[in-house]
Structure formats: structure tokens, C-alpha cells
A = this chain, B = another copy of it.
Amino acid sequence: MTANTDIHQENSFFPGRLDLRTPINDLLSRRWSPRAFSDRPVEPPKLVRLFEAARWSPSSVNDQPWRFVVATKEDAGTYAHLFSLLSESNRRWASRAPLLVLGLTRTTFSRNGRPNRHSFYDLGQAVAFLSVEAEGLGLAVHQMGGFDEERANGLLAIPPDYEPVIILAIGYTDRPESLPDDLRQREMTPRSRQPLESIVFTDAWEKPSRHVDPHVTGLSDHSSTK
């Protein structure tokens, strides 16, 4: 098994440096959610790897609640079904993605039918693993929460114990110039996040942990972008 961390296309676009406080693994820092997808298909062995990665994600009592409905453009019927669920704004660009994936989760434990409080959480982890694997393969993933869940339930005959949660557009990126003007602007906007002090606390709520306090660590939000 080898880690394929260095097979990014030379000419792939990346929307600027991040305000990283400290370097993190390239697979995480390079990941982003493009709208400009190339029509280059996802090679079958890579497609299998994406789901193999999701499969080995951890889950509550190893119940593995995640399920995926998958379509390339060659799976024309399934692709059309998934595409038809998307919001208007997502349909503007997602039609170029060579691979669409609906992520679902089982909201009850398979062993006893009781509610699984971590079912959405576990699906999130599985998709994160898929996204990390994608990044290593030179692929990009754009997640969309905006789609018609009710229609999905009927169209795909989803059983009552399952909920459709997310639709993923997956493929190789294209240049931002290939997008309409307004989307091109969004594509080139640097990614932003709240500072660590706003999310990592000690046991007094919203009091930043000393472990991420810039005055203690000597690391500021812009230390790596100078």
C-alpha cells in the first residue's frame, strides 16, 4: 500500500494559500470544493478506492450506517435521477461532474432498530475519508446539502430507516475561467475559517484552551502565509 500524495496535476488550480496557523497534512490543506469540473472521467480503480476509503471509516459500535448511490455519466438513468434532485444553483455547475454520489445514513442501529444518535456523524466521517482519498488521487469533491430530500425518498425508494443526507460531485478540476462570471469569482475566493480560539475551549465555555492561545503557542493565524 502506498500513499499517493504527490499525484496532483501540475496545472490544477488551487484558490490561494490558507491562513494556516501551523502546517497540516497536504491531503487536508489542499482539499477544497471546486465548481469547475473537467469532463475527464474518473478511472474505475480510483472510483473503487473512494468507497474503500469510506468503508474503513470508524462508526458507533461499528454499525457502518453509511450507504451510497453512485452514478457516472455512463449510468445515465441513475445520473439523471441524482442530478434532478439538486437545487437550481447547484445544477448550474454540477452537470459537468463526471461522478455524482448520494450519501445516505441508517438512522437506527441495524442490530436492534433503536435510534442511532451518531448516524449523521458517522456518515460525515465516511465522506471525509472518501474526500481525503480523493485528494490523494488528484480528484476533488464538492458536497451539496441543498437537494430535494423528499423527492429522493420517493424516486430512489429509500427505506424508512434511511435518510438521504448529501450529494457529492466528484471529478478532476478545470480552470476557473471555464465557469460563468459570478461562479468564477466564488471559485477564486480564498477559503476562510474561524480562528482556533473560537472553537477550542477549556471547560469554561468559549474560554480558549491555552493549547491554542497564540500568546502561549507563539503561533498566529498568519504565521505560515508570510
Contacts and interface: CB of A to CB of B under 8 A. Distances in A.
A209 B48 CA distance: 11
Interface stretch (A49-57, A90-98, A177-185): A49-57
Contact of A68 (B53, B145, B200): B200
A132 interface: yes
A132 B26 CA distance: 11
Interface string A23-56: 1111111010100000000001101110111111
B49 A23 contact: yes
Interface in A172-205: 191-194, 196, 199-205
A58 B33 CA distance: 8
B55 A194 contact: yes
Nearest to A135: B25
A129 B52 CA distance: 17
Interface in A112-128: 117-118, 120-125, 127-128
A54 B124 CA distance: 13
Most chain B Cβ neighbours within 10 Å, of A53, A128, A129, A133? A128
Contacts of A117: 120, 145, 165
Interface string A88-116: 00000000000000000000000000000
- 10 shortest A-B CB distances, which residue pairs? A124-B124, A128-B128, A121-B124, A120-B120, A78-B203, A125-B128, A1-B23, A120-B121, A124-B125, A3-B26
